[in-house]
Amino acid sequence: MLLTKKNKKGFTVIETLISSSLTMVMIGFTTGFLWFFNNYSNENIIKNNIQSDLRNVSERIEKEILPARIVLNSYTPPSGFYVPPPGSGTSVINSGPNRLIFTVPVYSKSTYLPATTISTDTNLNDVVILEYDCARSSSDLSQCDNNSTTKPAGRLKFWYIPAPGADYSKYNRHQAIHNQTILSYVANPLNTGVISQTSTSGTIINSYSIFEYRDINKSTVTDYQKTAMIKVNIFAKKEYGKRNGDKAYSDKKEIEVKLRNF
């Protein structure tokens, strides 16, 4: 009976080096692929989340603005209801590029007629406030964090103030909403270099207005009570780490809402 003689010799040094090199190459290739895949997946998840949030907040804003009667130039909120941004130091607030104030009619439960025909009456109309609040400096909350070149994203906040003078045994009452954040990562309107689509391409925006006011001829107005249409521009900006030197992904949603009175 013939027996096969086993080769009891081990691997040579050269064979060991070649085998180790191939193993290292395979590990490196696999690690690189997994890192790229993970980074790509995380970035796309963030992009999809931002786009979804922008759609939702745009629908919410449009829904809130549609019943508006008139945009107010200025407004004095009821005591204790509205909390102005730190450092503002005033009880009177104004509409402008970063704040929108408007009235909404209150309707009778029986006749469905409004409580008043005067659109500027803030006693018998509900008042809605949409406002951008910047990221605050960690050392002084009364100041925006504008020292950083990145200018961190702030928040878009919402108030719904029911008409204080309406008799709600006769009129329908809307639920009061205090200081609600409807989007927590709105790019600073003074954020030099925010990019409209992605962190590596798209139009660079040096500054922008969240709220723009147009009359019936679509011309820009500064007397906001003449506003017939409101254009809302929202850049969402979320930091997620560095990729090729970039620190954030940003995207934009733009809507136009025509007031019903026009």
Using one digit for the tens of pLDDT, what is the confidence trace for 121-172? 999 999 999 999 988 877 777 777 776 666 788 999 999 999 999 999 999 9
CA distance 164 to 15: 87
CA 74 to chain centre: 24
Give the tokens for residue 39.
């980074």
Query: Over 80: is that where the pLDDT of 90 sits?
Result: no
Report in angstroms the alpha-carbon separations of 123 from 101, 129, 162, 257.
14, 15, 9, 25
Lowest mean pLDDT across 120-124, 185-189, 246-250? 246-250
Average pLDDT, stretch 97-119? 96
pLDDT at 201: 55
Phi, psi of 172 (to 5 degrees): -75, 135
pLDDT at 245: 42
Higher pLDDT, 223 or 81: 223
**Are the C-beta atoms of residues 102 and 69 closer than 8 Å to each other?**
yes
Phi, psi of 16 (to 5 degrees): -65, -45
Average pLDDT, stretch 47-72? 93
- Residues near 180 by beta carbon (within 8 Å), at least 6 away in sequence: 157, 158, 159
Look up the pTM and report it. Answer: 0.79
Lowest mean pLDDT across 49-58, 157-166, 186-195? 186-195
Mean pLDDT, all residues of the chain = 81
Query: Over 80: is that where the pLDDT of 118 sits?
Result: yes
Query: Over 80: is that where the pLDDT of 218 sits?
Result: yes
CA distance 25 to 30: 9
Query: Over 80: is that where the pLDDT of 183 sits?
Result: yes
Q: How many CB atoms are located within 10 Å of the residue 49 CB?
A: 13
Report in angstroms the alpha-carbon separations of 194 from 45, 97, 230.
20, 17, 23
Q: Under DSSP, is residue 39 helix (H, G, I), strand (E, B) or coil? A: helix
pLDDT at 102: 97
**Are the C-beta atoms of residues 49 and 247 closer than 8 Å to each other?**
no
